[in-house]
Amino acid sequence: MQRMRYAFRFIKICFSLAIKQSRLREPWFKLWMGGVSLVILWFVPLGAVIIFVGLDALGMALIGLICILLLMSLLVWGEITSLETCKVFDDLILVDQEPGQEKKENRKQDFHRWQDAFLWMLSLPGLAILRLMIRVFLPKKDDKLDWLGASYLMLPVISLEDRSLKDAAERIKRLVREHLLRFHPNLIGIKPITGVAQWFLILVGGLLGSWVGLTMANPSTAGGLSRLLAAALGILLAGVLALLGIFISSFNRACYFTTLYNYALSAETARKSGDSNQDKTPAILGQVLRKNILSKKE
């Protein structure tokens, strides 16, 4: 329960900072504009299926496939916009500054590494299955995939160090080998909370969109235009709620993982320079954990 309280505290700080800093809200705008554009784009083949194929078994299978592809594209777009969130958050939250202060230079924000984020999203399921298979059948070789436990740093490393997916993986492996990751990500329950919020809203959106679509136009009696209008409203409702969940998850995870990246980077800097003063806890982690630390001291 404690890590969940930490998570809510972290999320509150992130949204409060975004309210004060307009730059941190820019990825929100791009997420929503791009997400709505994807919903409209995928409605074109969905409408074509409704008009030309109908709602028989083949038509329903194609509609289901289109909805799955739409959801996948929204999830990928959420991770791509996280690249910009990582950059902005890194500018705003420094290990030696309090939240709200900015670096003097504002790095240009772009999505030129979007292919790497896209490939990473596609490879995650396969890597998870591979790691599970190795743990079960080849436990002695499990250490070769230990770096996947730190794969939450992938997007911050790609974004902040401008690395390709392969180079970012090597960078994370080096951080793991050098034992620079001293803060376990599960100590603050960002992933479970944002994950539940994301998939709950996706599920509610899908159910609500389906219910609205079927209520507005009975598949067996409604005409083609009525079906199109019902499908348009249904997919819009489902898409908006899915986007809301993806937004909550991708934004807060990007902020949290960027914070942990900063923590590892400060440890690396301190080790290279020999100056232990360089090894500082990120200010936002101090804010999240401070109350409990103070209460224990008292």
Contact 9, 288 (CB under 8 A): yes
Structurally, how many domains does the chain consist of? 1
Residue 283 within any structural domain of the chain: yes
> Which token pair is 233?
């409203």
pLDDT tens per residue, the chain (298 residues)? 789 999 999 999 999 999 999 999 999 999 999 999 999 999 999 999 999 998 888 999 999 999 999 999 999 999 999 999 999 999 887 634 444 444 444 555 556 788 999 999 888 888 878 778 877 777 666 666 778 889 999 999 999 999 999 999 999 999 999 989 988 899 999 999 999 999 999 999 999 999 998 888 887 777 878 889 999 999 999 999 999 999 999 999 999 999 999 999 999 988 988 877 777 888 899 889 875 443 343 3
**H-helix segments, 49-189:** 57-92, 114-137, 154-160, 165-177
The DSSP secondary-structure symbol of 150 reads G
Contact 113, 158 (CB under 8 A): yes
Expressed as residue numbers, the domain containing 9 is: 2-105+179-297
Residue 131 within any structural domain of the chain: no
Non-local CB neighbours of 293 within 8 Å, separated by 6+ positions: none
Residue 186 within any structural domain of the chain: yes
Residue 170 within any structural domain of the chain: no
Residue 193 within any structural domain of the chain: yes
Cα gap 8→188, rounded to integer Å = 9
Length of the chain: 298
Q: What is the pTM of this model?
A: 0.89
Compute CA 286 distance to the chain's CA centroid, rounded to the nearest angstrom.
Answer: 23
φ and ψ of 105, to 5 deg: -100, 135
DSSP, collapsed to helix, strand or coil, labels residue 223 as coil
Residue 138 within any structural domain of the chain: no
Residue 149 within any structural domain of the chain: no
Residue 42 within any structural domain of the chain: yes
